[in-house]
Amino acid sequence: MSEYKSTWDRLGIALSVICLAHCLLLPVALVALPLVAVNWLQDDAVHVVMALLLAPVAAFALVPGLRLHRSWGVAGAMAAGLALLSTAAFAGQGSVAREWGNVLTGAGGAILVVAHFVNLKLCRSCPACSAHGGSG
């Protein structure tokens, strides 16, 4: 692939790690920093924004590589990760959002990180990707 392609994977990894860190660190921050105004981290808008940022990044990272090396496992993993994140982000104020939101978001973010790493690795070792300018 081109440098453009690997850039999307790297951006996807970074955003997924931020999302995962948000889910893992939020409970610690709420306990350890009760005097700091961290309420904005709990806002449903944070999850919606993250889901809306991650979806196009995943698509831009996946589509070119999928065309060349046909890794349907990576596509399935990215779809699963995005589905989990989207469920958490768009479930609303109900029990899913409050009780399972962080679990779904954390699992979705972790799956996306792994899928982006695998996609990047496949593109670096794929002869078809190398023929199109290397993965950077």
- All residue ranges of the chain with pLDDT < 50 are 1-2, 4, 36, 134-136
- Which pLDDT value is given to residue 91? 77
pTM over 0.75: no
Give the residue numbers spanning the domain of 38: 3-131
Is 136 domain-assigned?
A: no
- Which pLDDT value is given to residue 92? 65
Q: Give the DSSP H or E segment for 102.
A: helix 101-125
User: Considering its fold, how many domains does the chain have in total?
Assistant: 1
Is 82 domain-assigned?
A: yes
- Which pLDDT value is given to residue 56? 87
- Which pLDDT value is given to residue 77? 93
- Which pLDDT value is given to residue 136? 41
In order of 16, 85, 106, the CA distances from 102 in angstroms are 13, 9, 6
